[in-house]
Chain A
């Protein structure tokens, strides 16, 4: 069968406890496990064991990203297809990543590690799974429902896009092209949302940002208020809207410098590639595409990766 959704991001952080406090108190995740010095966290409206793994390290960055498949046989099939396409593939045993079944780890052309796995231990929604009050009263931090997507940087976004479309059946919803006709930013989906995985220009192997979804534009506004009140560093423009995708957004950083995003919006894609021609942004419109109100793209927007 196929990929279902973006499952987790495994991050390198310089101070695990400070990072855990950030992801609980600011982002609003639940800490779900601590194993071998690693901290596992999950958002309130996702029933799996984790969506974030914090790894102690001497630098910030992305250790790996995980996507789920809906058939155990997909693991072997994806491994064979990735190897046939020239990628390195390794195996991960069950519980090598806590709360997760066996997996395969594919090295993308951009050197990022992409883990595929079928099983995740179930912890349920924060509100509970039986006759729940749908909105919890004890939440801290942002009103985050789930980890939604990540943007990673690559020297050649087109090459990675081609790999993901051909090998893993991703579709493309939107893209930005430079004047030379090269794909500069690529928004890819494996479910029916606008993007699960996006690629932007920059060093191979780096993280641009991880995005957490909130229900309402008002929740993004209150999120910015919270970030400012708590002294969390945000991107220069604070609250904005991406013209690309038409979503409300704010960027901020965890204590190690990994970039996060609160965003809200509704966008449905057909769930299969090539059904709808992608939206194409050209350079003369990219300022509006990146920051709709400000109509400008500061250089730090692409340069700040971890």
Chain B
């Protein structure tokens, strides 16, 4: 083959740890309120996927003594990619750990993991067991499965946002070593220091990012975002979430200018910030792709085109 898509090809999963006895509250929230499909439960772990996803999970929740982000999983094409990326990461002085298949997660192929400058752990793998689409592969009705109707039931995991005290170092690592590209960047007013960035590897049409970097504590999660079909859908989803007593961020449904998505942010029972998003601009995995540039004094417009006041609490990490 002359041409070949290589390296990271998609966001695979987010794995979080919650101090939630028997994961009772989490399982109820992610299945019944958010509308994900639970695909595996074992003592201390629950795995979920969205109804349009063919792989076994895109969200993994472990029961842990402390709440925290465990790792973010990205899919590469094959084991050759793992070797090449391992060499590039090690060349920066960051140690890489190799795991055989089914370790630490059943159904995952061989993987490499490492801690990025922001303090978060990334795991790269080529295989995540394909269960097939929940709708079946034979002339399917691409409709939300009946048992999930009346919930947001997002279609896909869309992106994960992390915080770090040094956004420039994390953005630089993601760009230079893992070959992510910026779709949007926010800097100080003189353009010098990056404060936040949206980064992508996928050429996709919703969300414009797979990982975003915000200023804040090291190693923490800012939010996890899921894909919805459109803005009208998200308005209805906000009704379902409110009815279930979910804590919705004070921005409410809004156009997030930073990324141009139509977004609704809210919190799970343990305080993890989640997002439903639609729209955005198509991304292109190309070296000449240019990011939208934002400066700090436009932060309020960047975070919400519709709201008049800056919501400081939005900037804090949630896990």
Interface residues of A (CB under 8 A from B): 1-5, 45-47, 68-70, 74, 77-78, 80-81, 119-120, 122, 124-125, 129-135, 145-146, 148, 166-169, 190-193, 213, 215-218, 243, 245-246, 264-268, 270-272, 275-282, 284-285, 288-289
Contacts and interface: CB of A to CB of B under 8 A. Distances in A.
A132 B205 contact: no
A115 to B, nearest CB: 15
Nearest to B292: A129
B1 interface: yes
Given A2-B5, A131-B295, A288-B141, 18 more contacts: A2-B3, A47-B290, A74-B3, A78-B2, A81-B2, A120-B288, A129-B290, A129-B293, A130-B293, A131-B302, A146-B282, A191-B285, A215-B231, A243-B139, A266-B156, A266-B227, A270-B10, A279-B137
B284 interface: yes
B63 to A, nearest CB: 29
Interface string B258-290: 001010000000000000001101101111111
A169 B143 CA distance: 29
A213 B282 contact: yes
A226 B228 CA distance: 26
B111 interface: no
B229 interface: yes
A5 B203 contact: yes
Contacts of A78: 2-3
B139 A268 contact: no
Interface in B149-206: 155-156, 202-206
A5 B231 contact: no
A215 B288 contact: no
A134 B133 CA distance: 34
B220 to A, nearest CB: 26
A68 B284 contact: yes
A46 B305 contact: no
Given A122-B290, A213-B282, A216-B231, A282 B138 contact: yes
A191 B137 CA distance: 21
A4 B230 contact: no
Contacts of B143: 246
Nearest to A131: B298
Nearest to B158: A268
Interface of B: 1-6, 9-10, 52, 54, 75, 77, 130, 132-133, 137-143, 155-156, 202-206, 227-232, 255, 257, 260, 262, 278-279, 281-282, 284-295, 298, 301-302, 305
B248 to A, nearest CB: 21
Q: Which 10 A-B pairs have the closest CB atoms?
A: A246-B142, A191-B203, A81-B2, A285-B139, A271-B9, A216-B230, A77-B2, A192-B202, A134-B260, A192-B204
A117 B285 CA distance: 14
A278 B137 contact: yes
A230 to B, nearest CB: 24
A185 B289 CA distance: 32
Contacts of A213: 205, 282
A218 B54 CA distance: 28
Nearest to B133: A279
A132 B282 contact: no
A280 to B, nearest CB: 6
Nearest to A148: B205
Contacts of A276: 54, 130, 132-133
B52 A168 contact: no
B4 A1 contact: yes
B184 to A, nearest CB: 10
A134 B139 contact: no
Contacts of A45: 260, 281-282
Contacts of B260: 45, 134-135
B142 A243 contact: yes
Nearest to B78: A272
A132 B5 contact: no
17 contacts: A1-B3, A77-B3, A78-B2, A129-B293, A132-B292, A133-B257, A135-B260, A169-B3, A191-B203, A192-B203, A216-B230, A243-B139, A246-B142, A264-B230, A266-B52, A277-B137, A284-B139
Given A132-B257, A216-B230, A272 B5 contact: yes
B279 to A, nearest CB: 4
Contact of B205 (A120, A131, A135, A193): A193
A4 B290 CA distance: 15
A69 B3 contact: yes
Given A130-B293, A289-B139, A216 B203 contact: no
A141 B295 CA distance: 31
Contact of A134 (B1, B4, B155, B255): B255
A168 B5 CA distance: 10
A191 to B, nearest CB: 3
B23 to A, nearest CB: 27
Contacts of B140: 279
Nearest to B156: A268
A119 B290 CA distance: 13
A218 B234 CA distance: 13
Given A70-B285, A135-B305, A268 B5 contact: no
A46 B283 CA distance: 9
